[in-house]
Amino acid sequence: MIKKLMLAVATLVASMGFAFAQVDVNKADAAALDSVKGVGPAMSKAIIDERTKAGPFKDWADFQKRVKGVADKRAAQLSKAGLQVNGQARDGAPMAAAPADKTAKPAKAGAKPADAKARPEAKPEAAKSAT
């Protein structure tokens, strides 16, 4: 019974390692590509077909240009899930604007900041005693 339990734990640990393994689009087969979250059978077939037709992918920009349906956001997600091009994760991905940037309203003239009460101005006396 203990041997079976130990085997189950070892199998679980080994499978967790595969879930976070890095997969290079230029070297991986369909099964390895399918193991990346966000890559299904259709995309893995498209990757392999394009790689066979036009050669290995040079970089992430080349990968995005040649594989239909992979824009910046999806490329960043795939890279985060472990997909690599020539052993490189996609870095320098444009950051999405924070929701506050889109919804922020310009301040009205003469309006006080919302947290003005939360941060009282330092008194000159306190500044003199600190020196």
In whole angstroms, what is the distance from residue 36 CA to residue 57 CA?
A: 18
Residue 4 binned pLDDT confidence (cut-offs 50, 70, 90): confident
pTM score of the predicted model: 0.55
Burial 52-88 (b: 16+ CB within 10 A, else e): eeeeebeebebbbebbeebeeeebbbbbebbbbbeee
Task: Using a pLDDT cut of 70, give the percent of the chain over it.
Answer: 57
Residue 131 binned pLDDT confidence (cut-offs 50, 70, 90): low
What is the three-class DSSP state of 29?
A: coil
Nearest to 47 by CA among 18, 72, 88, 78: 78
pLDDT tens digit string along 70-79? 999 999 999 9
Nearest to 56 by CA among 66, 71, 45: 66
Residue 27 pLDDT greater than 60, yes or no: yes
pLDDT tens digit string along 74-106? 999 999 999 999 999 987 543 333 344 444 455
Residue 67: what residue type?
A: V
pLDDT of 95: 37
